[in-house]
Amino acid sequence: MHPKHISIEDYNYPLSEDKIAQFPVNQRDRSKLLVSKEGNVVESIFENITDFLPSESLIVFNNTKVIRARMHFKKPTGANIEIFILEPLAPTQEIQNAFQVQGQCEWKCLVGNAKKWKEGKLSLSLRYQNEDVILYAEKIESIGNSFRIRFSWEPSNLSFSDMLMANGSIPLPPYMKRNTTKEDVERYQTIYAKHQGSVAAPTAGLHFTDSVMTKLRNKKIEEAFVSLHVGAGTFKPVSSEKIEDHEMHTEQVVIHKKIIEQLIYYQDKKIIAVGTTTTRTLESLFWFGVRIIKNKDVDFHINQWEPYENYDSEQISALESLTAILNYMNEKELEEIHGDTQIIIAPSYKFKIIDVLITNFHQPKSTLLLLVSAFYGEEWRKTYNYALDNNFRFLSYGDSCVFFGK
């Protein structure tokens, strides 16, 4: 069946509020771990995860960094205005560069209490690194249910990243019904986070500690990193009855040449993806290689249904696709490629790159749960039922699961 015809109600399950983790466990790697292989489940603790992973394999992480995306202003009338930055518009749309812009920039944003901000420029006086700063926000135009906001600041030699550090706060998912704490600044961030750009953490990685990373190396499991900058759309539930009516969100990706070489080297071994964001990046990479092989437009933009419209690409192997990308990068003298993906991975999708998936437990009727089902099949229900019956914690600050592909 084409995934467009999937009924999202088939991916529902009862998740009560008391199962949703509101705070992280005291120590990252002391979260519970469920290992699911061929329909069988084994319970453990995350610090023991290397006991279950194949040696001499490649483990791939998403090294995106959560930004302080919520900015807070106050009108002269006293009304509080919250601005949630979504994606850069000017002077650059490349998210990793957008934070280094000085003086002025424009972003697509959500605005809380927007009815109280009809017009005019908001201003805010701040102290940042022992310096007086004035930050301004101006609403330029509406973009659907969001707005184009122009930010400017003095001194203008400071970067937009500095402004977020001075005024922003870490955005927690909407199902965590509480305010951000100082603890979240550290804990809602992976220990290997490097490149700013996400408004939500790639939560499968939150369990990793230096100790676990050392255990991976001792087992000859090599590390690799991609960057997919998680957008707010990751929390958007599928509200339509059929998947075909759901528009998948688009997220920016950055991939270095080194990981292409690593993926090629490990083609006859096992590749472990940490999280759904890493999975979507790696699988999108395959389809980028297909574009190159077919001499199509080689812009790295993978649309929602592209994999399902390319059944004639079944004969192209991952090795062929990755080699085409590496040759393309060498020819163009590129050390990294920038692009974006809207890929939706749902049942009937045939995985090209990954063999093992480390992930958290996801919301009912979500595209993340569709991805898990596509990877593991209907046995996902048995795993989730076990987790529900055995006091596992769900969603972003929840416990972890390892799925082994068929």
For residues 153 and 78, state if they share a domain.
Answer: yes
H or E element that contains 283:
helix 276-293
User: 261: part of which helix (H) or strand (E)?
Assistant: helix 257-265
pLDDT digits (tens, 9 = 90+) for 43-88: 999 999 999 999 999 999 999 999 999 999 988 888 899 999 999 9
In a domain, 273, yes or no: yes
Q: How much is the pLDDT for 218?
A: 97
- Average pLDDT over every residue of 262-267: 97
pLDDT value, residue 75:
87
Q: Are residues 285 and 399 in the same domain?
A: yes
Q: For residue range 11-39, what is the model confidence (pLDDT) as tens digits?
A: 999 999 999 999 999 999 999 999 999 88
State how far Cα 86 lies from the chain centre.
Answer: 13
Higher pLDDT, 399 or 177: 399
Phi (first) and psi of residue 62, to 5 degrees: -100, 115
What pLDDT does residue 177 have? Answer: 83
Paired tokens of 110: 């959500």
The single-letter code of the amino acid at 115 is: K
Q: Which of 116, 139, 169 is the last residue of a domain?
A: 169
Between CA 289 and CA 302 the distance in angstroms is 11
pLDDT at 115: 87
Percent residues over pLDDT 70 in the chain: 98
Q: How many domains does the chain have?
A: 2
* Helix (H/G/I), strand (E/B), else coil: 190: coil
Matching residue, tokens 């569709």 = 370
164 and 265 fall within a common domain: no
DSSP 290-357: HHHHTT----SEE-TTGGGG-GGGTT--HHHHHHHHHHHHHHHT-SEEEEEE-----TT---SS-SEE
Can you tell me the distance from the alpha carbon of 286 to that of 291, in angstroms, rounded to the nearest whole number? 9
CATH number at 150 reads 2.40.10
Query: Same domain, yes or no, for 330 and 350?
Result: yes
Which residue is listed with tokens 């000085």?
Answer: 102
Q: How many CB atoms lie within 10 A of CB 376?
A: 22
Mean pLDDT of 238-267: 92
Per-residue pLDDT at 235: 65
The Cβ of residue 40 has, within 10 Å, a number of other Cβ atoms equal to: 11
Residue 107 sits in the same domain as residue 52: no
Model confidence pLDDT, tens digit, residues 182-197 = 899 999 999 999 999 9
CATH number for position 17: 3.40.1780.10
Query: CA-to-CA distance for 386 and 238, rounded, in angstroms?
Result: 24
Residue 17 lies in a domain: yes
Phi, psi of 83 (to 5 degrees): -115, 120
Q: How many CB atoms lie within 10 A of CB 363?
A: 21
**What is the C-alpha separation between 160 and 378, in angstroms, rounded?**
45
User: What is the rounded average pLDDT of the residues 219-244?
Assistant: 86
Exposed, middle or buried: residue 246 (CB in 10 Å: 0-12, 13-18, 19+)? buried
Nearest-angstrom CA–CA distance, 89 and 40 = 48
168: left (phi over 0), alpha (psi -120 to 50) or beta: beta
- Is the pLDDT assigned to residue 239 strictly greater than 90? no
Residue 1: which pLDDT band, with cuts at 50, 70 and 90? Answer: low
At 311 the pLDDT is 60
Mean pLDDT score across all residues of the chain: 93
Angle between helices 318-332 and 276-293 (to 10 degrees): 70
State mean pLDDT over 382-386.
96
Cα–Cα distance for residue pair 216/61, rounded to 1 Å: 13
Would residue 175 count as lying in a domain?
Answer: no
Our CA angle for 233, 369, 390, nearest 5°, is 125
Alpha-carbon span 164 to 152, nearest angstrom: 12
Question: How do residues 310-362 score in pLDDT, each as one tens digit?
Answer: 766 678 999 999 999 999 999 999 999 999 999 999 999 999 999 999 999 99
pLDDT at 338: 94
Task: Tokens for 397, please give them.
Answer: 């600050």
Inform me whether the pLDDT recorded for 297 exceeds 80.
no
Residue 384 predicted with pLDDT over 70: yes
> Are 86 and 55 within one domain?
no
Give the residue numbers spanning the domain of 146: 70-169
pLDDT digits (tens, 9 = 90+) for 107-156: 999 999 888 898 889 999 998 988 999 999 999 999 988 999 999 999 99
Q: Could you tell me if 49 and 127 lie in one domain?
A: no
Residue 180 pLDDT more than 80? yes
